[in-house]
Amino acid sequence: MADDHGHSFDGNHGIWQRGGLDVENLPDPFGTSQTGGTVPPVEPPAKPRRRWLRWGFNAFAALLLATLIWLIVTAPLGRALEPLDDPAMLLVSEEGRPIARRGAVKDEPVEAVKLDPMTPAAFVAIEDRRFRSHWGIDPRAIGRAMVANVRAGGVRQGGSTLTQQLAKTSFLSSDRSMKRKAQEVIIAFWLEAWLTKDEILSRYLSSVYFGDGVYGLRAASRHYFDREPERLTLAQSAMLAGMVQAPSRLAPTRNLALAQKRSRLVLQAMADTGVISLQRAKATKSARPTGVSSSVPTGTYFADWVAPQAAQAFDADYGEVRVETTLDADLQRLAVRAVANANIGDAQAALVALRPDGRVVAMVGGRNYGKSPFNRATQARRQPGSAFKLFVYLAALRAGYTPDSMIEDRPITVEGWSPGNNDGVYRGTITLREAFLRSSNAATVRLAEQVGRQNVIRAARDLGIDSPLTDRPSLSLGTSGLSLLELTSAYAAIAGGRYPVEPRGLPLETEADRGTLASFFARGGQMDDRRDRAPMLNLLWAAANEGTGRRAALSTPTFGKTGTTQNNRDALFIGFAGNLVVGVWVGRDDNGSLGKITGGSAPAEIWRRFMSPAIAIDGRRGPPLPSQFRVPQRREAPVRERESPLPDDWSEGGEAIREIIDLVEQLIEKN
């Protein structure tokens, strides 16, 4: 269909046509001017790629704004001036002797305007010469570093400004990623916008690391030169400024020659920037550290154990926190010597000594901390062997048994398992006292089954054993792993008469803390003297003086129990005398056999070698014994006369021979 002007409509395609051509393809009737010229075509709409760029720019701007808002709200400007989260601690013994130093030191902040002008100038000259003129980042320094690194084939220079370094150390992690670098730049801009140059420099100097676990200029000047930062000389300032590039390598306490060489570069940089003259730079002698060096170790077995407790007890603060501990320096020295001199070949040993109330006074976790800081007194979970029998017999006493009660020492089979006595001897019907002092396995397993394993586990839990205990027939022979400290603390409950005993390395703030409401509702309580404690002391005395632990016996009343595990993999002696409860363990880290070593040999000897001088130093008085207990008289083993290994008929005529020998000796003496 067509109209008067020649228009037609294509019904099949739905398009208007003119002269057989689609209207959309006809020339623009307005595209020709009156003069015959053509009008420039209208630009096409923007391409999608440009829209993506615009959206990306807007997203980046929004992210930048959000980051700045986050910084303002969550990142205080004074963060660099705050003390470290973990305070530096000087651990001291009960007598006040330094025993270990832990953590990094950060002292009070410095103000750049109050320092000698040469001190901040030294840092600016070597770290960021254009610090006073740039706005957070230095494109010129970045370009120079890139060229130098390309020529060197690796990273040799950095282009970070002091502001960027402050941003990194105060707000970011030390990982080298593009994300962290971008954050560093944003924070640097933010710092420059909110702080003056002197404020930025003050924060940088107050937080930068100087090696030897020292942060901040004040701590560094005290540590290396024993003076306040306001009194630093030019040479000392140059040495400290040179250290920040590589503190661990350039610390003068580690490499004085390298630190002095680096300080010469700082002085040259100061001369190049016109801060000092070249003549003064050359005339300045290199500094030497004059701070008081400390021989206090950073780590010991006891320090590693007590440090987490101490960190929770003190808030973050500047400088070094002096922390009093329960350790007795004299007893610790005796413990180290006793373990070091142990005749145990290449096996390991551990010793822990505590008061009946839980105060740890000595701890040795191995024969050499430098070679192995693993603490075998607190971290190792080893089988206690027969030392676990304490809980079996305590459960029996609670059930109405006495040391004079009778038990069968005969072979027994429980759930298909048949324990045997270590000496292979079965003595028939014996008292509990004899079964305990001889450490009879068969009698103990039979007793545990009669009393009930759950009651044995309950007795162990009451005395402070928190490690998992497996409910099986071998439980009574100590097949569940415990730590030496945990087991020794359980014996301390018998020594003091209260349970459980919580071992601690920090003293209570006041004696009144013992009677707080929290301690009133804590689990545990007073041990029954008549039913439990006095009979248990009777058994422990018998084991330490007449039984398997008699090598440990002292002139002071001694109580204890040996422990030896299967194939002699672990050997222990746990006991107490005077006011000390001491546990000794001997074993191998690979859980190999100790050969002939048992709890009654090397561990008992180490225990006695420590306790003999310890009692002399510490005194003999401990917690009062129950009125129902009397220290038995030690029954000395009968002395047997030596008999000649020769037959009697070989001795005939011996009198004549002895007379001849006596005559010869007299002649020798006269001559």
CA distance 74 to 95: 44
Number of other residues whose CB lies within 10 A of the CB of residue 410: 14
Q: What number of CA atoms fall less than 13 Å from residue 445's CA on the CB side? A: 23
Q: φ, ψ for residue 119 (rounded to 5)?
A: -70, -55
Q: Which amino acid is located at 269 in the chain? A: A
588 touches 374 (CB < 8 A)? no
* Two structure tokens written together for 591: 């859980």
CA distance 332 to 457: 33
527 touches 494 (CB < 8 A)? yes
CA distances from 297 to 103, 106, 169, 301 (A): 12, 19, 28, 11
* Two structure tokens written together for 530: 């008549």
- What pTM did the predictor assign? 0.75
With tokens 């002095």, the residue in question is 260
CA distance 101 to 295: 10
Cα 408 versus chain centre, distance: 48
pLDDT of residue 171: 73
Given a cut of 70, the residues of the chain with pLDDT beneath it are: 1-49, 64, 67-80, 141-159, 172-181, 291-295, 315-316, 509-523, 635-671
pLDDT of residue 299: 81
Closest CA to 359 of 606, 509, 580: 580
Question: Which stretches does DSSP call E strand in 41-87?
Answer: none
237 touches 115 (CB < 8 A)? no
pLDDT of residue 509: 65
Question: Which stretches does DSSP call E strand in 164-203?
Answer: none
Q: What number of CA atoms fall less than 13 Å from residue 592's CA on the CB side? A: 8
pLDDT of residue 520: 40
CA distance 326 to 273: 56
* Two structure tokens written together for 306: 């007590």
Which H or E run includes 573?
strand 570-577
Which H or E run includes 280?
helix 278-283
183 touches 75 (CB < 8 A)? no
Residues in the chain: 671
CA distance 572 to 370: 24
Cβ neighbors of 143 (< 8 A, separation 6 or more) are: 159
pLDDT of residue 291: 65
pLDDT of residue 173: 57
Which neighbouring-strand residues pair with 559? Answer: 576
Helices 484-496 & 534-545, crossing angle to 10 degrees? Answer: 120
Task: Catalogue all structural domains in the chain, each as residue range(s) with its CATH number.
Answer: 108-283 (1.10.3810.10), 384-506+523-559+620-626 (3.40.710.10)
At 126 the three-state DSSP class reads helix
CA distances from 254 to 73, 85, 224, 579 (A): 42, 26, 11, 45
Which H or E run includes 447?
helix 441-451
pLDDT of residue 25: 56
pLDDT of residue 190: 81
Q: What would the pLDDT profile of 609-635 be if each residue is shown by its tens digit?
A: 999 999 999 987 889 999 999 988 876
pLDDT of residue 379: 97
pLDDT of residue 328: 96
CA distance 180 to 168: 8
**Residues carrying an active site annotation:** 127, 386
Closest CA to 106 of 83, 86, 85: 83
CA distance 636 to 438: 16
246 touches 262 (CB < 8 A)? no
Closest CA to 460 of 387, 366, 403, 539: 387
449 touches 471 (CB < 8 A)? no
CA distance 407 to 430: 6
